Structure 1
Amino acid sequence: MVSHKRRKELLKMVIECEKLTIKQLSVLLDASPATVRRDIDWLAERSLLVKMKGGAQNPSLRMQHPLSGETFQNALQCHATSKRAIARQAASMCTDGETIIINGGTTTFMMADFLADRRMTVLTNSFLMAQKLQVSSENEIFIPGGRVYREQNVILSPFDNDITQSHYASKMFMSVQGLSTLGLMESDPLLIQAEQRLINQAEELVVLADSSKFTRKAGLILCGLERVSCVITDTDVSETAVNILEQHGIKVITVQANEERAHGYNSSLNRQYTMDVPEFGRLTPAH
């Protein structure tokens, strides 16, 4: 097996099995322990897996992925179990042959673990997402040109007519800093610039937001709720927040975060509510 195919298989196995020893990988790949060690070193240098004594493990599970920038690293560790369950559900909504867009958030980054078997076209402004998908999958990857902002983990173009303007996507999967009755919220104007360009190229907008995002405030509005097709969140989300989203015609999918750890799979639960409330975080009793 040639080296790049072997490394893709190795990474896929580690993602699926969480952790594997060099001996196990040698048998699975029909390769010598020395070859496996070199492949682990190569993948670890590119932050695609975590090297451990006698083997390798999936970086997303322990949240020790040596990412560029403290902001992204810290956010990756926060609500990690919920984010991973949400990312798994989002990936299950993808089908081979689709063109999708994935923005540079921590929850969306975890989708890469579940897209290894897909055959899609993926446009992303996350250089870490692009690198991981390039090595671990057969998806066709596109990234916009521009400057890499390490803290935000995004690539931003200073030009209005960058590559994103030439792409159409059936879905865009997006992480956000917060949600409110006004819409999706971000605090960094650099992210607003990059993500608004991507949103304009997608037919459906799917937002990945753990329950903490519904009480988090940010200073800038990315887009209104009327642009959102679906929100995937965890079961700790309040009934108030779900009701408001559904009143705006948004499909809400909730996932059980603790089942992600216990069973490696979670089923989505569609929830319906009829309470009429003015905004997230302020409860109005049902009559």
Structure 2
Amino acid sequence: MYQQERLLAIIQYLKEHKKISVEQICEKFNVSRDTARRDLVKLEEQEMIIRTRGGAMLPTLKKEIKNYQDRLRYVSKEKKAIGKLAASLIKDGDNIIMDTSTTVQACAEFINTDCSVITNSINQADILSNKSGVDIHLLGGQLNKEHRFLYGAGTLEKLNAYNVNKAFIGVVGITERGLMIAHEEDGFIKKKMIEQAEQVIVLADASKFENNALFTFAKLSQIDVIITDQEPDESFLKVLEEYEVDVLFAFD
């Protein structure tokens, strides 16, 4: 088992049992104490756990969502692989919507087709401005300076005029209840983006599965495709199958 697979399994165990010891990690995954400690150090660096004497526990409070510039420093190779696969789904002549997430930004970096992009993200517009075949429609509105997206009544009104082939949407969490995000104003924009698209494509690394966030902006029945880096739990895969959501896997 690769380290990333163990880390996800450790988090899942913590969600069910609240705490885990080094001995339990060694026994459950057949690894040495040094390997178990390295796994916990890695999870602590990602702010996913609190290390305790001899083990770890989940934080009592949800970690604060980093601002956009901070999140950009942690764009992983998994997110880049997801973005590359997502970009391959864009065809010449497509009209698409791209939201403000860092995983969707990874998609923008790999676009090499002639298309029109509607976005509320300053960063997406900046990246796409260097691509000669892309027409950019930057939505107006009030600027969230910390996370660098435009929102508000004006943004929603402008979105209402666009009809697109595909919408590329990022999330903080995906559960049976639907797609979740940390900020309500961002959630309202994503909700409208989904309504305007023929096909909704969600970009989410495996850590987003069965992770809760403050605001639910869409139901699973409203999405068509999820692009991720690892297969979610079998039980959640069955839920996605029930809603006829296709799952595509990106590999670096």
Query: Per-residue deviation at 1:181?
Result: 0.1
Q: In structure 1, what is the Cα distance between the partners aligned to 2:177 and 2:184?
A: 17
| Residue 144 of structure 2 is aligned to residue 136 of structure 1 | no
The answer to whether structure 1 residue 84 and structure 2 residue 75 are counterparts is no
| 158, 162, 167: which one aligns with 1:167 | 162
Q: Does structure 2 conserve the Cα–Cα contact (< 8 Å) formed by 1:76 and 1:107?
A: no
Q: CA deviation at 1:96?
A: 0.5
Per the TM alignment, residue 161 of structure 1 is displaced from its structure 2 partner at its CA by 5.9
The CA deviation at 1:242 is 2.2
Q: How far has the Cα of 1:202 moved from its partner?
A: 0.6
Deviations 1:136-173 (A, max 9, x none): 34200001111221222211133376321111001100
Displacement after TM superposition at 1:74 (Å): 3.1
Instruction: Structure 2: state its 5+ residue gaps.
Output: 1-64
Matches within 5 A, 1:115-154: 115=111, 117-154=112-149
Tell me, in whole angstroms, the C-alpha distance in 2 between the residues paired with 1:128 and 1:137.
Answer: 17
Q: How many Å apart are 1:79 and its aligned residue?
A: 5.9
Whole-angstrom distance in 1 between the partners of 2:210 and 2:74: 15
Of residues 190, 194, 199 in structure 2, which corresponds to 1:199? 194
Cα deviation, 1:109-137, whole Å, max 9, x if unaligned, reads 1112211x211011011111011101234
Residue of structure 2 aligned with 1:112, choices 98, 108, 113: 108
Question: Is it true that 1:176 corresponds to 2:171 in the alignment?
Answer: yes
**Contact 2:118 2:137 (8 Å CA) reproduced:** yes
Q: For residues 219-258 of structure 1, what are the structure 2 equivalents within 5 Å?
A: 219-235=214-230, 237-256=232-251
| 1:187 partner letter | A
Secondary structure, aligned partner of 2:81: helix
Alpha-carbon separation, structure 2, partners of 1:165 and 1:238:
36
Structure 1 runs not aligned, ≥5 long: 1-68, 261-287
- Measured in 1, the distance between the counterparts of 2:216 and 2:244 equals 19
Structure 2 residue identity aligned to 1:196: K
Shift in CA distance, 109/161, structure 1 to aligned 2, threshold 3 Å: closer
Amino acid at match of 2:91: T
Q: 1:98 aligns with which of 88, 94, 100?
A: 94
Aligned CA distance change for structure 1 residues 92 and 119 (closer, same or farther; 3 Å): same
In the alignment, the residues of structure 1 paired with residue 186 and residue 99 of structure 2 have an alpha-carbon distance, to the nearest angstrom, of 10
TM-score with structure 2 setting the length: 0.70
CA distance in structure 2 between the partners assigned to 1:83 and 1:161 by the alignment: 28
The 3 A distance-change label for structure 1 pair 161 and 185 is closer
1:123 partner amino acid: I
Counterpart in 1 of 2:68?
Answer: 72
CA, structure 1 residues 246+75, in 2 after alignment: closer, same or farther (shift >3 Å)?
farther
Aligned residue-pair number: 188
RMSD, matched Cα: 1.8
TM-score, scaled to structure 1: 0.62
Q: 1:84 Cα deviation (Å)?
A: 0.5
Quote the Cα distance in structure 2 between the aligned partners of 1:137 and 1:150: 27
Q: Which residue of 2 aligns with 1:155?
A: 150
Structure 1 residues 36-60: Cα deviation after superposition (integer angstroms, max 9, x where no partner)? xxxxxxxxxxxxxxxxxxxxxxxxx
Give % identity: 29
CA drift at 1:196: 1.6
Deviation at 1:204, TM superposition (A): 1.0
8 Å CA contact 2:116, 2:136 repeated in 1: yes
C-alpha distance in structure 1 between counterparts of 2:124 and 2:91, whole Å: 18
Change (3 A) 1:153 1:241: farther
- 1:185 alignment partner, SS class: strand
Superposed, 1:40-51 pairs within 5 Å as none
Checking the alignment, whether the CA contact within 8 Å between 2:204 and 2:228 is kept in structure 1 is yes
Using the TM superposition, give the Cα deviation of residue 70 of structure 1 relative to its aligned residue in structure 2, in angstroms: 5.0
